[in-house]
Chain A
Amino acid sequence: MFEIRLNDQGEVVMGGRLDAAQCDKALQFLDSVPTPRVVDLAALEYISSAGLGVLLKTQKRLMAGGQGLRLENANKHIRDIFKYAGFDRIFEIGPGGA
C-alpha cells in the first residue's frame, strides 16, 4: 500500500511502499503541488528505482525554477539507496529516520 498527502505544514508525506505500480500516483500528486519543498519519508518503508525516477523528475522541474526537494526521515534501506544512486549530491538529504 502506498500513501501520499500534504501535512499541515505543507510538507509532502509518503507512506508505505513506492514501487513501480505506484509511481504514477506519486508523480500525479507531486505534479499537482506547485512547489513542494520537503518530503517526509518517515512512513515510507520501501522505494524502488521507479520511485527514485519520480523524485528525480520532480527535482528537475523544481530546479528549473531555482527550487529543490529536501528528503527527510528516510529509513536506513532508503538512505542506502539514495547513497548508491548519488541522490545525496542532487537532493538535500535531511536527518535520517528509523
Chain B
Amino acid sequence: MPPGVQAAATGLRAEALLQILEVTRKLAAPFDLPAVLAEIGEAARSVLQAERATVWLYEAEQGALVLTGTPPNVAPVKAQLSQGILGLTARSRQIINVPDVRREPLFDPAVDLDLNNDVRCMLSVPLVERSQLVGVLQVVDREGFAAFTTEDERIAETLATQCVVFIQRERMSRSLQQAEKLDREIKLAREIQMSTLPSEMPRLADYDMAGQFCPADQTGGDTFDLVPLEGDRLFVLLGDASGHGIGPALSATQMTGMLRVALRLGADLDAIFAQVNNQLVEDLPEEHFVTAFFGVLDTNTHTVAYHAAGQGPLLHFQAATGECRWLTPTTFPMGFMRYPQVDPPQQLQLEPGDVLGLISDGVFECENPDGVMFGTEGVEAVLHERHDGSMSDVLARVLQAVHVFAAGHPQADDITIVLLARRGETAGRTVVQQYFPRSFDSLDGIFRFIGDFLAARSLDQELHGPACFIVEELFTNFVKYNEGGRHDISLSLGHTPEQLTVRITDFDVEPFDPTHAPAVDVDKPLGERQPGGLGLHLVRQMADTLQYEYTERRSTITFTKALEPG
C-alpha cells in the first residue's frame, strides 16, 4: 500500500488536516532529532486520539530499529527486523492495522509498545523515503479500544510522509554539522602541518634550492624539511603520509617533529631513519604508512647519502648529459614494520649543474580530465628547458605545468617539490660527469666520453690515450675487485686552463687504493714479472698527480694531467 499522499489527503477530515499542518509548522522549528521525534509522536497521538505513539528509527548500520527513549539517560531500545508487528512493518514497508493484538500471533510485547500489558489495537506505519526505510511510526490504543479506521490509516500515512521529511532534514543537517566540524579540524591540522615547513631556504655555498608544499583541499600528508647541519651538511626530508582526513597531516607533522628532535640530539642518518620508522610503526594505524626521503648532502664532497622508503622516483638531472635519471626507492615505506636491518645509505654524486629533485606523487599522479597522468615526462620537459635557471623558477614552472596539464581537474593529493641544484660551471673550470655500468662493455662509451670532452673544448688530443689508459685501468679494477657491486661507476672530467682533472668514483665498496699498490720493477726479466700490478704502476707513471679518498664506503680516485698552453 503505497502512501499515495495527495489522493488520500483530499479525503481527510478538515480537523485532522489542520492538526497535521500544525505539526508541520512545529516540526519546521526544532533542529534536534529527539525533539523532532517527540513532536511527531505527540502529533500522531493527538491527531489519532491514541494512547501512545512512538517513532522507531531504522539504523542501517546496525540493521535494527532503535527507540531513542526519553529521558535521555535511558539506553536506546533496539528491535530486530524479525521482531513483532514492528519488524513486519519495516520488512514489508506496508501499513499494518491490528484491531486486536491478542488475536495476532505476530504481536511481540517486547517491542510492540506493550508497556503495561494492556495494548489492544495498533496502527504500525512504515516511514519510507524513495524506497529507503527510515523508521516505523507505531500508534497504540485509543479511547474505548475502538480499532483504527481506514481514515486513520490515511491520516497516519500523511503524517508519516511529513515525518520522513523532517527526520531526513534533521539527519542531513546533523551530518553537515559534523562535516563542518571535521572541516575545521582538518583545517587546524593543516595549519599545524604548514607551520612545520621551513620558512626560508637555507643558504649553502655552491647550492641553490627551493621547496614548496601545495596542499590539496581535504586529504594529504606531505611534508618537507631542510635542516643545515654542522660540517657544511644539509639534512633533506620529504615525506608523504597515506590516508584520508586528519591522520596524514598529523603523521607528517609527527615525522618532522621527530626528525628535528633527533637532529638536535646529534643522531646520524641511519639511526634517525631507523628510529623514526620504529616510532611510526608504533603510532600509525595498521593500514597507514609514510613514504619518505631521508638524505644528507655534504656540500664539500657534493654527495648525497640517502634512504628512500617507498619514496620515488627521485629525480637526478645530470648537467653533463642533459638527461634525467629516475632513481628508485631503497626500501619499503615507513610505518609498516621495523626494518630488519638498515642497509648503508645510497650515495648520489652531484656534479656542477646537477639537480636532485624530490617530488611527491601528487605531481606524477596529477590527472587531466581524460584520466591521463602527468608522469615523469612532464617534469623532464621543464628540466630540459629550464635547468640553468634558479630552482625557485624551475619549481614554479613545474607547478605551472602541472596546473596547465590538470586543465581544471581538481588537485586530488598534496603536491610537494624540493629541488636542490649544485651550481653550474664557474669561470675557468668545467666539469662533466656520467655514470657507467660496471662492465667491460662500458669501455667504448668511456673512451667516447673522454674523446668528446677533449674535442668539444679543443684540448690537447695527445691526452686522449693516456687519459683513457688510466681511466680504463682504474675502471676495470673497480669492476674486478667489487664483483657484487650494484652501483654504476661515476666518471667526471674537468679542466682549468692548466690541467685536466679526472675523477672516478665507486660506491658502497671496500677500500681500494691504487696509490699504495706495490711498485713494479719493470727492469726485471720477463720470467720474474707478474702482469698484475703493472697497470697501476703505469697509472702512477702517467698521471701527474694521483689522489685516493675513501669515505662512507665510497672510493674516489682523482688524477690530473697538465695541459699544454694554447
Interface residue? A33 (CB, 8 A): no
Are B465 and A48 closer than 8 Å at their CB atoms?
no
Interface residue? B364 (CB, 8 A): no
Are B522 and A84 closer than 8 Å at their CB atoms?
yes
CA A77 – CA B525 in complex, angstroms?
23
Binary interface encoding of chain A residues 66-94 relative to chain B, with 1 for a CB under 8 A from any of its CBs, else 0? 00000000011110110011100110000
In the assembled complex, the CB of B478 is this many whole angstroms from the nearest CB of chain A, namely: 12
Binary interface encoding of chain A residues 43-55 relative to chain B, with 1 for a CB under 8 A from any of its CBs, else 0? 0011111101100
CA A13 – CA B525 in complex, angstroms?
26
Residues A21 and B440 in contact in the complex (CB < 8 Å), given A49-B538, A63-B526, A84-B538 = yes
Interface residue? B340 (CB, 8 A): no
Shortest Cβ distance from A64 into B: residue: B527
Are A78 and B472 closer than 8 Å at their CB atoms?
no
In the assembled complex, the CB of A56 is this many whole angstroms from the nearest CB of chain B, namely: 5
Which of B444, B473, B525, B529 is the one whose CB lies under 8 Å from A48?
Answer: B473
Chain A neighbourhood of B524, CB < 8 A? 86
CA A6 – CA B267 in complex, angstroms?
66
Which of B462, B522, B526 is the one whose CB lies under 8 Å from A77?
Answer: B462
Chain B neighbourhood of A57, CB < 8 A? 531
CA A81 – CA B447 in complex, angstroms?
17
Shortest Cβ distance from B475 into A: residue: A20
Shortest Cβ distance from B441 into A: residue: A21
CA A70 – CA B538 in complex, angstroms?
21
In the assembled complex, the CB of A40 is this many whole angstroms from the nearest CB of chain B, namely: 18
Are B469 and A85 closer than 8 Å at their CB atoms?
no
**A: number of interface residues (CB 8 Å):** 28
Are A77 and B472 closer than 8 Å at their CB atoms?
no
CA A48 – CA B450 in complex, angstroms?
15
Are B538 and A81 closer than 8 Å at their CB atoms?
yes
Shortest Cβ distance from B532 into A: residue: A53
Binary interface encoding of chain A residues 8-26 relative to chain B, with 1 for a CB under 8 A from any of its CBs, else 0? 0000000001011100000
CA A84 – CA B473 in complex, angstroms?
15
Interface residue? B535 (CB, 8 A): yes
Chain B neighbourhood of A85, CB < 8 A? 522, 534, 537-538
Are B447 and A46 closer than 8 Å at their CB atoms?
yes
CA A1 – CA B523 in complex, angstroms?
32
Chain B neighbourhood of A56, CB < 8 A? 526, 529, 531, 534
Interface residue? A5 (CB, 8 A): no
Shortest Cβ distance from B466 into A: residue: A77
Chain A neighbourhood of B468, CB < 8 A? 46, 48
CA A21 – CA B439 in complex, angstroms?
9
In the assembled complex, the CB of A61 is this many whole angstroms from the nearest CB of chain B, namely: 11
Interface residue? B476 (CB, 8 A): yes
Are B523 and A50 closer than 8 Å at their CB atoms?
no
Chain B neighbourhood of A86, CB < 8 A? 522-524
Find residues 445-478 in chain B having any chain A CB closer than 8 Å to their own CB: 447, 462, 464-466, 468-469, 472-473, 476
Shortest Cβ distance from B541 into A: residue: A84
Interface residue? B81 (CB, 8 A): no
Are B443 and A53 closer than 8 Å at their CB atoms?
no
Interface residue? B401 (CB, 8 A): no
Shortest Cβ distance from A55 into B: residue: B531
Interface centre among B441, B444, B522 (most CB of A within 10 A): B522
In the assembled complex, the CB of B208 is this many whole angstroms from the nearest CB of chain A, namely: 39
Chain A neighbourhood of B531, CB < 8 A? 52-53, 56-57
Some 20 contacts from A to B, beta carbons below 8 A apart, are A19-B443, A21-B441, A45-B465, A48-B469, A48-B473, A48-B535, A49-B473, A49-B534, A50-B472, A52-B534, A52-B538, A59-B526, A75-B465, A77-B469, A78-B465, A80-B465, A81-B469, A84-B537, A84-B538, A86-B523
Chain B residues within 8 Å of A, Cβ to Cβ: 440-441, 443-444, 447, 462, 464-466, 468-469, 472-473, 476, 522-527, 529, 531, 534-535, 537-538, 541-542
